[in-house]
Copies of this chain bind each other. A is one copy, B any other.
Amino acid sequence: MFDLAAYIAEKNKHVNRSLVSAFRDVDASGRIVAAMQYSLMAGGKRLRPILCLAANEAVGGKETEALPAACALEMIHTYSLIHDDLPAMDNDDLRRGKPTCHVAFDEATAILAGDALLTLAFQILSATPMRSEKHSRKWLEIIHTVSTAAGYRGMIEGQMLDILSEGKTLSLTQLESMHKLKTGALIQASLQCGVIIGGGTSAQMAALEVYARNIGLAFQVTDDILNIEGDPQVMGKAAGTDALRNKITYPALLGLEESKAFAQDLVRNALKALEDFDRRSDPLRALSKYIIERHR
């Protein structure tokens, strides 16, 4: 039986160690660095890095080679949270049980810390070891994959659509399109990066893209369900906020039970996409179930 908790704990340790070492040679007294580290080390689930490492493993890649991409993905995710939490956006004071970056520091510092994390991601993806003759092409492809997913036709467009949809009614299709961009694009890129680094085949890439689309959506549906049923203590943030804000969610459109069934369907699709993979994809199998069974 595959032990997902131990797997996540181990990968978390490796990712955190790499994230810390990204700042190794830096004067830690700087305000920007302090704000970057504050948000980066605030206890995130590290879902995107773990998906990247697990995809890399599923196609036979080495973990050490995928770690820089795993770190870059977490930096981009963290920057997006810092900016989304700003008063001009979602105006959230609490994230993972701690004051958000602009509350702990100030708005200007939070904007700059987000900018700096996004920029540092690309600095890491283009660092010296990646520039060997053999690997350059692969890493350029990774940079293109990540920047496309994080950009104005991916994650950023998703956040814009989310803001523009406030107070409006959305159809199920519109809700799905928004989430595919806002959270789905970077989750998909995480898996794609793992496949590229591990040297997966194009059939493996196609299969893991199907997996990614399904777990990405399942992740969002579960987030919506947790916002209703979750324990604020465990989640580190308030529950019931979506209803208060009149936010369109899956439970609001489908009902709570139907939403849970939908999330399970999505996980079934994700598992089906892994059919042709061997035991090395067990972490991906376990992760797909974890995504809808988690409590935070």
Chain B nearest CB from A285 CB (Å) reads 32
Q: Which of B109, B122, B127 is in CB contact (< 8 Å) with A122?
A: B122
| Complex Cα gap A118–B83 (Å) | 14
CB contacts (< 8 Å) of A133 on chain B: these are 137
Interface string of A15-33 (1 = CB under 8 A from B): 0000000000010001111
| Complex Cα gap A83–B144 (Å) | 24
**A86–B112 touching, CB < 8 Å:** no
Determine if A235 is an interface residue (Cβ-Cβ < 8 Å): no
CB contacts (< 8 Å) of A111 on chain B: these are 83, 86, 88-89, 111
Copies of the polypeptide in the assembly: 2
CB contacts (< 8 Å) of A125 on chain B: these are 143
User: Which residue of chain B lies nearest to A151 when distances are taken between CB atoms in the complex?
Assistant: B119
Interface string of A21-53 (1 = CB under 8 A from B): 000001000111100100000000000000000
| Complex Cα gap A188–B165 (Å) | 42
| Complex Cα gap A164–B35 (Å) | 14
Determine if A107 is an interface residue (Cβ-Cβ < 8 Å): yes
| Complex Cα gap A83–B26 (Å) | 24
Cβ < 8 Å to B, chain A residues 119-139: 119-120, 122-123, 125-128, 130-131, 133, 136-137, 139
For chain A, the count of residues having a C-beta within 8 Å of the partner chain is 51
CB contacts (< 8 Å) of A159 on chain B: these are 112
Determine if A234 is an interface residue (Cβ-Cβ < 8 Å): no
| Complex Cα gap A131–B160 (Å) | 30
| Complex Cα gap A115–B137 (Å) | 25
Determine if A140 is an interface residue (Cβ-Cβ < 8 Å): yes
Cβ < 8 Å to B, chain A residues 137-195: 137, 139-141, 143-144, 147-148, 150-153, 156-157, 159-160, 163-164
User: Which residue of chain B lies nearest to A137 when distances are taken between CB atoms in the complex?
Assistant: B136
**B30–A116 touching, CB < 8 Å:** no
**A137–B131 touching, CB < 8 Å:** yes
**A131–B141 touching, CB < 8 Å:** yes
Chain B nearest CB from A186 CB (Å) reads 11
Task: Given A88-B111, A118-B119, output 18 extra A-B contacts at Cβ < 8 Å.
Answer: A31-B164, A32-B157, A86-B108, A88-B107, A89-B111, A112-B159, A115-B118, A119-B150, A122-B147, A123-B147, A123-B151, A126-B143, A126-B147, A128-B144, A130-B140, A131-B137, A131-B140, A136-B140
- 26 A-B interface contacts by CB (under 8 A): A26-B152, A30-B157, A30-B160, A32-B152, A32-B156, A33-B152, A88-B108, A89-B108, A112-B160, A115-B156, A118-B118, A119-B151, A119-B152, A120-B147, A122-B122, A123-B144, A123-B147, A126-B141, A126-B144, A131-B140, A131-B141, A131-B144, A133-B137, A136-B139, A139-B140, A140-B143
